[in-house]
Amino acid sequence: MKFGVIVFPGSNCDHDAFYAVSANLGQPAEFIWHDSSTLGAVDAVILPGGFAYGDYLRCGAIAKFSPVMKAVRRFASDGGLVLGVCNGFQILVEAGLLPGALIRNRGLKFICREVRLTVETADSPFTSAAQKGQILRMPIAHGEGCYFADERTLDELEAEDRIAFRYHGNPNGSLRDIAGILSRERNVMGMMPHPERATEPLMGSSDGLTVFQSMLRAAVRV
């Protein structure tokens, strides 16, 4: 399985994602510059955390116009797996690939610490290696990670089993404790916690591997 890691000007978690899938998962990966109009021969795409140019306006608001996002939209519409982490989640929301919005944390402070997550659904290409109700430990590092959506959207996410993860203790004020969501087709997922920073014991937790192992499992089934 080959992963493509999108690199935006200012990205700072792209190498973390690359290392997680290449060294810890043992799968080939390549960087894809944001100005590229194609993704090449990849089986999955990761929009990493960190920053993207234009975040000073609103996180992801300018990055969504990068040429590579047209390729990401085509890839997703064809059923390709797309994972957005932290800033990547913000970009996916701004690009319309996922519903809702990410706004300033409750308390208006940047938060950087480990959190506990509950796996809300194991019925997705990103969570199938976990069990529903399983508790995972991963770090967060964001100032605008509060998930917000109208009641109708929240109800739809609940009814369609598209909430992938919920927070324990809700560090940022996200509505309904949402930490990660899925697209209707279930092949796009955005999450604020960083699975790539929890892929080996030296990091304090290897629970993040569950996400990447699930993606690998999904690709093998195809």
Catalytic sites, residue numbers: 86, 194, 196
- C-alpha span between 152 and 99 (Å, rounded): 11
- C-alpha span between 146 and 104 (Å, rounded): 6
Q: Say if strands 178-182 and 163-167 run parallel, antiparallel, or are unpaired.
A: antiparallel
Specify the 3-state DSSP secondary structure of 137.
strand
Closest C-alpha to 48, from 88, 77, 82: 88
Q: Residue 107 CA to chain centroid, in angstroms?
A: 23
Residue listed under structure tokens 């990547």? 88
- C-alpha span between 14 and 1 (Å, rounded): 18
Alpha helices, DSSP H only, in the chain? 14-19, 67-77, 87-94, 151-159, 209-221
* DSSP collapsed to 3 states, 142-164: ECCCEEECCHHHHHHHHHCCCEE
